[in-house]
Amino acid sequence: MAGRATGVGHRLFAAHPARTLVLAFAVAVLVGTGLLSLPLATADGHSAGFVTALFTATSAVCVTGLVVVDTGTYWSGFGQGVILALVQAGGFGIMTMASLLALLISGRLRLRLQLTALAETKTFGIGDVRRVLLGVAGTTAAVELAVSAVLALRFRFGYDMPVGQAAYHAFFHAVSAFNNGGFALLLDSVVPYRTDPLVTLPIAAAVILGGIGFPVLLELLRHRRRRLTTGRRGWTLHTKLTIVTTAALLFTGTALTTLLEWGNPDTFGPLHWSGKLLNGFFHSAMTRSGGFNAVDVGAMEASTLLMTCTLMFVGGGSAGTAGGIKVTTFAVLAAAMVAEARGEPNSTIMGRRLAPHALRQALTVALLGVGFVIAATLALLTVVKAPLEAVLFEAVSAFATVGLSTGITADLPVSGELIVILLMFVGRLGPVTLVSALALRERKRRYELPEERPVIG
């Protein structure tokens, strides 16, 4: 009987893996809400309100970082531990389950050498599940411990923190950074360290590594070992796209942020030119889905906020801890536009022709993302008295699970908090489940309808 039940459960998972993924994260949110609702979780010993606990748990599990209360003062050590555990579970679960989900789809559909929005299918096989899990765990532990060590030494000897406090602050921020969580123990995030590269650069590096995607990280490590032994180096298209697009967006974000904020007296104005460049890079890295801020985001120029919204919407790499529509989706759409502008019948990129279904999936993800952001912005504008740019920024940050805010999060009414909660959840799991559903539903048509071209533009 148990074997029969197990078989039924396996068939349900195989038929609807996206449904299982959504259910798993929903359960994690509910468990986190229950734990954060305990009197033990708050600093003053009073139970947090249900919506406050739900908002914080959703933000942690979806590794967003938006908060309605200050993490360092409102929550007790137990509450902060729960938040950190939820961030770790959300980041580790996203990386593992998204990779395994991609493997399940590729095994069923026999996809080879094709770019997907989740992972490069050539990287793994169905028999590699154990290696994937161990690889994710090992990579996560290695990066978090390395960043923790650097931060702990800096906090201890650069800011005279007690050993225990330095270690705790370092570990908390390292876990939050690698998982793109955005939670910080200080009320103003990392603003006190904005001119300290020994704090900001390790955090930025952890955010970039976590957001680039586990399939890419594992492939880079594998090919590094192969190159050392055989002298060969060959990356898959997914890895090339992710690295090149991420680097281009980081450079663009750094240049634009630095230039736009150069003379702003409330942000970069008082800084030395080296500090301006450092903070321009840090802010650009945080748009990958990091969520930490080293300057007051609410004081930034409107042009900077719009540029930041664009970078946040794109997000990071597939099957990683970052949100957004993903850099590979952006690259596929860009390749399609270039092909159309040149009058070419097929979209090509880096010497490879893109499959038509990859373009359709990318277009679907991007347009649905735009739809969610617009709908959420309209809903928030009906309940929040704030400028349009601030509300739009909040909506994009929630959908892309970034965590940056202009400062309106804590002032949201309950209805506004519920809208943001839904947007964080949809934004975190929407692209994964949508692309999975599209891939699983792919089928061949046995007939073709008559072709006709409507007027475009």
In a domain, 297, yes or no: yes
Q: Is 233 part of a structural domain of the chain? A: yes
Residues of the chain with pLDDT under 50: 1-15, 95, 99, 102-103, 106-127, 228-231
Q: Residue 319: what residue type?
A: A
Asked whether residue 165 is assigned to any structural domain, the reply reads: yes
Fill in the amino acid letter for 130: R
- Please tell me the predicted confidence (pLDDT) of residue 443: 62
Give pTM, 2 decimals. 0.85
Q: Is residue 367 part of a domain?
A: yes
In contact, 271 and 195? CB cutoff 8 Å? yes
Tell me how many domains the chain contains: 1
Q: Give the span between the Cα atoms of 10 and 36, in whole angstroms.
A: 33
* CA 289 vs CA 113, 208, 348: distances in Å: 28, 9, 28
Q: Is residue 452 part of a domain?
A: no
Structure tokens at 282: 């840090």
pLDDT digit string, tens, across residues 59-113:
999 999 999 999 999 999 999 999 999 998 888 765 465 545 544 554 443 333 2
161 is a domain residue = yes
Q: What pLDDT is recorded for position 445? A: 64
Predicted pLDDT at 171: 96
* C-alpha span between 295 and 279 (Å, rounded): 8
Domain-embedded: residue 4: no
Q: Do 434 and 71 meet the contact criterion of CB atoms below 8 Å apart?
A: no
Q: Residue 199: which of 212, 217, 185, 213 has the closest Cα?
A: 185
Beta-bridge partners for 75:
42
6, part of any domain: no
Q: Could you tell me which residues are beta bridge partners of residue 348?
A: 353
